[in-house]
Amino acid sequence: MKNLWKMMVAALVIIGATACTETEESLDKGNNNVEEAGVSFYATFGDDDTRAYIDDSDGDKRWTTVWEEGDVLEVTNLADSSSYLFVCTDAATGKFTCEDSAAATLIGQTVRICSDSGKHPRDSRLGKKALYVWTTGVEFTQDATIQLTSQTSFLRYTYEGEGAVTLKLELQSDSGTNIKSFRSFDNETEGLTSANEITFSGIKGENFVPFWCGIDPSFDSRDATLSYSIDGVKVKETTINHICSGKVYNLGTLTDPEPAAKIYLVPNDGWKADGAWFSAHFFNSTDGFADVKMTDDNGDGIYECSVPADMEKVLFCRMNPAFTEFAWNEEGATDENLHVWNQTADETIGVEPDNYYYILDWAKGIWGNKDGYELPVRTLGIIGLGGNWDVDTDMTLDGDYYTLMNVTVAATDSFKVRANDAWTENYGIASSATADAVAIEKDTMYSLVQDGKNMQLAAGTYDFYFNDTTKEFYAMTPGTTPEDLAIAQYKIYVHPYNNVWTKFNLYSWDTAGANPTGGWPGATSTVTETINGYTYYVWTMPRSATGASLSIIINDGTSQTADFALGTLDKDYYLLLNGVTLSIVEDKENPEPEVVQGEPQPSTWALAGDFNSWGDLVMYTTDVAELFVAKSVTIGAYKEIKVKQVGNWNNSFGGGINYLNANIWTKAYSGGSNFSIVNAGVYDVYFDNANKRIYVMNEGVDYATATEQSKNGAAPDLSSASWGLCGTHNNWSAPDIQLVWDGTIGLYVAKSAKLTGEFKVRANNSWGEDYGCGGTVTVNSATGKSMTRGGGNCKVASGTYDVYFDLTGKKIWVRTPGSDAPTK
């Protein structure tokens, strides 16, 4: 036992000696703790001065770091230029460590610390992907806290939604150009990209987005505009005053946008007829506009759309189903080429719940709610009596007339009829006299007009009568009525023949400019009368029209007759509407033309074209069923034609090819494009309705000898044509903005062209050869927009542009002035 104890003591002595030896060696090494733990320092970015509150809704939340683990900083010894890479190992504290033992030589030295050495671009993305942080001239010590500065600033925001966040920063340089302030690296290419806006998807929680104020320090302390959108809807816009480098701008908590406001359209039967579709044209006071197609997804007859941002007003359009995109009508467009059939007046956008717009007639409507609408109470009164031009004396509706009884009028009085106590609608005497007032007689009928002259009467007492429909006015002896004057009323009768209209309107005007049957399209006949088996549509004309020399147009709201001089309305008139042609009926019991057996008869089909200003030339029957002909038609070279139903452009036939030769037939398609006749001449044009073919034959040549044409004939020689821009900027009339040929780029060019919304390209200041793109042209697009012959209008925001046209490729470019020319 004694020996064993001695052995244990000896062993402990040896172990203790060894331990002491190792401790002394460790102490002798001095920096070996640094080697094992690594050389470290704590990097900070910013202090209280760094924080800049755009939105302080969550300003109490403190953030002191924008580091991410794995960020790399380069520390350089300024004495010998040796440098070492330090990696962020703790983002919360900003601790950066270098495990290279040689980095210990930095301790006690004056160093530069930066994130971008030019040698490690991929690793230089610091601070939530910032681009450049640095400091210089500092003494490096182990675990020191070193504050860095940056030319990069940050936008901080918090978002918990699901949408795509788009940030847009607009910062202008001295030259007025927008500095592309958002910077990011591409990990694959190690390339640097710049943009004015940047979008993030699926990033929740706290986010830091770096941006750059500019290389030139003078860019600092400028004002910038910052906005953010979520899923393409702008939510907020604010100004950053005196923006500068090295700041963290707190945008606060981002909120999802409110659901877009909606409006609804409730069309009447007239608007819904003929397969029409509907578009809402939005606009504001700064020339902004948007066209939105309205849809009825649940089939309840109510159409809806969302209201685009920043819009103030809207008008509703009834669109031609032959076109699928919105476009305004061209000046002088034929009925078949009308995009917009009907439209309302400009309206302030309705606000929920009163955001349902009910169509009342072809051009009028009223806002209501989903349960209906209330018509505003209409008032009519007399203004000016007793010299009072501020307050109306209200009239009372009694049958057909608004009345005001026992009115005392002084010899010095003048007066007018006014609606709704406002000058928007006021009525007086139609007169070219220079005086403000015109004398009228009692017990006499007068037809008042909008904004007419004031009326004057001899001093006395009168009963006033005003018919709001016909605008007849009477100052009657008290106790008498207009009926006591026994003024005759007459009727107009119209018998349709060879006509497919389902609605008949009568529009009329006299030599003084009055419209006895109201504004366009006039009064719709609701009464028919049968005479000897023939149906007539009947209009009872107002007394105010009796004795007037009238002209009339019969229409269905889309198609119409030519102006017809009716004559003095001193009797009933009986008219024949043959297709779209009016004539006086001599025998009201036999209004239709006599049919001679075996002789060609007028059909319900017509030929229309440039040769007759796109009116209806009625085609006649032949001895072949469903084969109709228009004979001896003079057509110019490359002038256009089309076959249509008489009085109805909704049923027309054109082609899949454009340029037709003589003595040929080709397929005809419902709603097809216009045909152009290659050579001028006199032709017999046939329409085979059974087989849907068009025949173009030299006059007198048998149609049976025609050969099929399935490809275009020779196109017109446009080599010497002058090309120009025609549109809303020149009211769709010559002279056009000229496009000048530039042989160096092979394009026609119009520099600094002032455009105001819609336009087309056409040849020789006329509509013989024109091209459109049927939609909006993207400004500064590299690819341009394709055009087609006779296509819909091109659209662009009002402004000054350089416009390039490629005749060969049928393409157009619209660019900001001074931009580089496009490449074909």
Mean pLDDT of 652-661: 87
Task: For residue range 757-780, list pLDDT tens digits in order.
Answer: 899 999 988 877 888 888 889 898
- The residue to which tokens 């009064």 are assigned: 523
C-alpha dist (Å) from residue 819 to 442, 668, 802, 813, 816: 72, 45, 8, 11, 6
Per-residue model confidence (pLDDT) at position 7: 39
- The residue to which tokens 């002191």 are assigned: 64
- Asked whether the beta carbons of 353 and 369 are under 8 A apart, the reply is yes
Query: What does the alpha-carbon distance between residue 519 and residue 526 come to, in Å, rounded to a whole number?
Result: 17
The total of other beta-carbon atoms located within 10 Å of residue 590's CB is 13
pLDDT score of 157 more than 90:
no
What residues does 24 pair with on adjacent strands?
Answer: none
Q: Which residues contact 19 (CB under 8 A, 6 or more apart)?
A: none
pLDDT score of 331 more than 80:
no
- Asked whether the beta carbons of 640 and 652 are under 8 A apart, the reply is no
Q: By C-alpha distance, which of 159, 227, 238 is closest to 198?
A: 227
Query: What does the alpha-carbon distance between residue 698 and residue 424 come to, in Å, rounded to a whole number?
Result: 59
Torsion over CA of 493, 497, 500 and 505, rounded to 10 degrees?
Answer: -20
pLDDT score of 613 more than 90:
no
Per-residue model confidence (pLDDT) at position 213: 63
- Asked whether the beta carbons of 147 and 135 are under 8 A apart, the reply is yes
217 upstream amide cis, omega within 30 of 0: no
Mean pLDDT of 92-118: 86
Mean pLDDT of 7-11: 38
Query: What does the alpha-carbon distance between residue 772 and residue 811 come to, in Å, rounded to a whole number?
Result: 9
Q: Which fold has domain 491-584?
A: Immunoglobulin-like (2.60.40)
Q: In the structure, what pLDDT confidence band is assigned to residue 270 with cuts at 50, 70 and 90?
A: confident
- Asked whether the beta carbons of 88 and 108 are under 8 A apart, the reply is no
Mean pLDDT of 441-466: 94
pLDDT score of 184 more than 90:
no
Per-residue model confidence (pLDDT) at position 60: 44
Mean pLDDT of 218-240: 73
Mean pLDDT of 74-83: 93
3-state DSSP assignment of residue 39: strand
pLDDT, mean over the chain: 83
Per-residue model confidence (pLDDT) at position 116: 55
- The residue to which tokens 């490449």 are assigned: 823
Query: What does the alpha-carbon distance between residue 596 and residue 194 come to, in Å, rounded to a whole number?
Result: 82
Per-residue model confidence (pLDDT) at position 21: 38
Per-residue model confidence (pLDDT) at position 573: 97
User: CATH topology of 491-584 equal to that of 602-708?
Assistant: yes
Q: By C-alpha distance, which of 281, 278, 353, 358 is closest to 312?
A: 281
Per-residue model confidence (pLDDT) at position 240: 77
Which sequence spans correspond to the domains of the chain? 2-30, 36-150, 152-253, 262-368, 380-485, 491-584, 602-708, 723-815
Mean pLDDT of 560-574: 94
pLDDT score of 398 more than 60:
yes
Please give the CATH number for the structural domain made up of 152-253.
Answer: 2.60.40
Please tell me which of 304-308, 415-419, 446-450 the model is most confident about, judged by mean pLDDT: 415-419
Please give the CATH number for the structural domain made up of 602-708.
Answer: 2.60.40.3620
- Asked whether the beta carbons of 820 and 782 are under 8 A apart, the reply is no
- Rounded to 5, what percent of the chain is helix, strand, coil? 10, 45, 45
Q: Which helix (H) or strand (E) holds 531?
A: strand 527-531
* DSSP code for 431: -
Query: What does the alpha-carbon distance between residue 414 and residue 474 come to, in Å, rounded to a whole number?
Result: 15
Please tell me which of 326-330, 399-403, 499-503, 601-605 the model is most confident about, judged by mean pLDDT: 399-403
Mean pLDDT of 494-503: 89
Per-residue model confidence (pLDDT) at position 814: 95
Per-residue model confidence (pLDDT) at position 188: 41
Token pair of 294, please?
């309205």
Q: Which fold has domain 380-485?
A: Immunoglobulin-like (2.60.40)
Q: Which helix (H) or strand (E) holds 36?
A: helix 32-37
Query: What does the alpha-carbon distance between residue 648 and residue 770 come to, in Å, rounded to a whole number?
Result: 25
Lowest-confidence region among 336-340, 400-404, 550-554: 336-340
pLDDT score of 178 more than 90:
no
Per-residue model confidence (pLDDT) at position 47: 55
pLDDT score of 23 more than 60:
no
Per-residue model confidence (pLDDT) at position 133: 72
Its sign, for the CA torsion 91, 186, 133, 239, is negative
735 upstream amide cis, omega within 30 of 0: yes
What class, spelled out in words, does domain 36-150 have in CATH?
A: mainly beta
Residue 592 amino acid letter: E
Lowest-confidence region among 142-151, 358-367, 620-629, 793-802: 142-151
Per-residue model confidence (pLDDT) at position 585: 95
Lowest-confidence region among 251-260, 571-580, 785-794: 251-260
Task: For residue range 662-718, list pLDDT tens digits in order.
Answer: 999 999 998 888 898 999 999 999 999 999 999 999 999 999 999 999 998 888 888
Burial string for 166-198 (b: 16+ CB within 10 Å, else e) reads: bbbbbbeeeeeeebebbbbbeeeeeeeeeeeeb
Lowest-confidence region among 31-35, 37-41, 93-97, 345-349: 31-35
- Asked whether the beta carbons of 344 and 282 are under 8 A apart, the reply is no
Q: What percent of the chain has pLDDT over 70?
A: 86
Please give the CATH number for the structural domain made up of 723-815.
Answer: 2.60.40
Query: What does the alpha-carbon distance between residue 521 and residue 557 come to, in Å, rounded to a whole number?
Result: 6
Mean pLDDT of 469-487: 91
Q: In the structure, what pLDDT confidence band is assigned to residue 583 with cuts at 50, 70 and 90?
A: very high
Q: Which residues contact 778 (CB under 8 A, 6 or more apart)?
A: 785, 814
